[in-house]
Structure 1
Amino acid sequence: MRDLGKGFGFLLQGQRWVGRHGRWFGFGLLPGLVTLVLYAGALAGLVFGADDLTAWATPFADDWSSPWQGLFRGFLTALVFALGLFLAVITFTAVTLLVGQPFYESLSEEVDRSEGGRVPESGLPFWRELWISARDSLRIVLRVAFYGILLFALGFVPVIGQTVVPVLGFCVSGYFLTEELTAVALQRRRLDLKERLRLLRGRRMMAIGFGVPLTLAYLVPFVAVFLMPGAVAGATLMARELAPDTGDGPRPDPAADPGAPAPAPYGFHKD
């Protein structure tokens, strides 16, 4: 249980950090605002176009009598919008992190710098970092979607579906939200997705303590945008706890010492 409180503590520390560094808070807001505008436009388009989409997808219902045609297509329209809203919720953080890759990288580096010690760098070109982030984000979104479908099905089980399943849903969402946010700092430490998930599994309660309150806060419109800079800062502080020795001190220089082992390429870091 101590790790649960520690994770929540990192979230609060991150918000306090950006509160003390107002310039970085404003800097970190920009990607979230851009993503929010894009998502708002997409959802607005879905609201106005969902009726036409369901009518186009169900030509077999054109000759149905009233009220069955309206009920059937109305149900499908609501389902399409609910699916769109679900996808928006589970992908918002991933898309914001991609849009704001250079912003959040700089913010995370500044947090590391302010805490002392060497600031880890991946040594990769920007396009390569962006590709790795996009690939890993897609993998996480697919995992969340899989668990979401599974928990949705379990939601029909009496009693358990109305009590245990919602709690599990928030825990799963919070856990993977933590992974996405800590990835900003851990990727600079040359840890790939498999290794990052291994670290979080070892401190699962800390990841849940960080991610679940953030997930609950994200249910309030626009809150995600304003909490994102602090969430990245807090996740960087957590990354320092998860991988305290990674990136500390100078890396061996093969040119200076031919016998020294070369740094592992990204995605092939060894324990």
Structure 2
Amino acid sequence: MLDAVTALTRGTRLAYSPGLRRYVFAPIVVNLLVYIVVLRVVLANFGGWLEGWMALVPEWLAWLEWLIWPLFVISLVIIVFFTFTLVTHLIAAPFYGFLAARVEVAATGRPPLDDRGFMKTAVDALGRELVKLAYIAPRALLLLVVSWIPGLNLLAPLLWALFSAWVMAIAYLDYPMDNNKVSFADMRRRLRARWWQSLTFGGCVTLVTWIPLANLFLLPGAVSAAVLMWNQHYRELAVSAPR
């Protein structure tokens, strides 16, 4: 049985194998540019964000400042990397979708059901990213509100970690599913049906995104890993709704 760590290991090797590695350079360049911009913004504003957040702590919770401060820092770091990942996916989606299609051919010997050229894949992938964003954004906003509620925000790091794992599962496993004509709604149903595989895979990918600089080269491997996970765990699930 293919697990998340094995899938990521095999997927990374596959992404950089001869015949496929030429498809990973464009998303790496995109990720690098976004990484530089996000890093500059964070370094310029991190201190101010943290001071503003701590100023909201009521006096009756002042005695817990030793615990609240590191939790705020952890939450802020998670939010920053979460935002970074969403932005990079939105920009690099056309390349990731095409990479997933080429990996599926190499890994399984059969093309995806919707084997499109690069331009068609690029347009469709961008549209699909907007659908994902419409699903993720309101939930992330709600979680952000929770993160600012005194007392309740003590749970924020755990909630962000679980949410990030779910979002990463959606973000990456959707590439092969979209290529195989699985609707966004049915994709989520399949992920819920294999919730353990989905969350462990998403959690591993989340950890990969937190590795500075190395994540630029590992994320294409996550796309390849998603194809392997799709083929092993999700392909044969019954389609519960039409596209």
AA in 2 matched with 1:139? A
Q: In the alignment, does 2:134 pair up with 1:139?
A: yes
Q: Which residue of the other structure, out of 2, 7, 11, is the alignment partner of 1:10? A: 7
5+ residue gaps, structure 1, are: 52-70, 247-267
Q: Structure 1 residues 132, 74: closer, same or farther in 2, change over 3 A?
A: closer
Tell me the CA shift for residue 239 of structure 1. 1.7
Tell me the CA shift for residue 215 of structure 1. 1.2
More helix per residue: 2
Q: In the alignment, does 2:23 pair up with 1:30?
A: no
Give CA-to-partner distance per residue, 1:179-209, whole Å, 9 cap, x none.
Answer: 1011111111122221111110000100111
Give CA-to-partner distance per residue, 1:81-118, whole Å, 9 cap, x none.
Answer: x8986554123333333333342233212221121234
Name the CA distance, whole Å, in 1 between partners of 2:95 and 2:101.
Answer: 10
TM-score (normalised: structure 1): 0.64
2:230 corresponds to: 239
Q: In the alignment, does 2:210 pair up with 1:219?
A: yes
SS of residue in 2 equivalent to 1:236: helix
Q: Which residue of the other structure, out of 77, 98, 106, is the alignment partner of 1:106? A: 98
Q: Structure 1 residues 46, 101: closer, same or farther in 2, change over 3 A?
A: closer
Name the CA distance, whole Å, in 2 between partners of 1:74 and 1:42.
Answer: 17
Correspondence 1:99-178 to 2 at 5 A: 99-114=91-106, 115-121=108-114, 125-126=120-121, 128-143=123-138, 145-146=140-141, 148-149=143-144, 152=147, 156=151, 161=154, 166-178=157-169
Name the CA distance, whole Å, in 1 between partners of 2:48 and 2:164.
Answer: 31
Give the conservation status (yes or no) of the 8 Å contact 2:15–2:103.
Answer: no
Tell me the CA shift for residue 210 of structure 1. 1.0
Name the CA distance, whole Å, in 1 between partners of 2:76 and 2:159.
Answer: 22
5+ residue gaps, structure 2, are: 56-72
Give the conservation status (yes or no) of the 8 Å contact 1:122–1:190.
Answer: no
Name the CA distance, whole Å, in 1 between partners of 2:97 and 2:24.
Answer: 10
Q: Structure 1 residues 9, 168: closer, same or farther in 2, change over 3 A?
A: farther
Q: Structure 1 residues 148, 31: closer, same or farther in 2, change over 3 A?
A: same
- State the percentage of identical aligned residues: 20
Name the CA distance, whole Å, in 2 between partners of 1:209 and 1:40.
Answer: 29
Name the CA distance, whole Å, in 2 between partners of 1:116 and 1:72.
Answer: 53
1:262 corresponds to: none
Name the CA distance, whole Å, in 1 between partners of 2:121 and 2:209.
Answer: 29
AA in 1 matched with 2:24? G
In the alignment of these two chains, the number of paired residues is 220
Tell me the CA shift for residue 172 of structure 1. 2.3
Query: Which is greater in Rg?
Result: 1
SS of residue in 2 equivalent to 1:16: helix
SS of residue in 2 equivalent to 1:270: coil
Name the CA distance, whole Å, in 2 between partners of 1:73 and 1:189.
Answer: 42
1:256 corresponds to: none
TM-score (normalised: structure 2): 0.71
Q: In the alignment, does 2:179 pair up with 1:203?
A: no
Name the CA distance, whole Å, in 2 between partners of 1:72 and 1:210.
Answer: 34
Q: Structure 1 residues 31, 206: closer, same or farther in 2, change over 3 A?
A: same
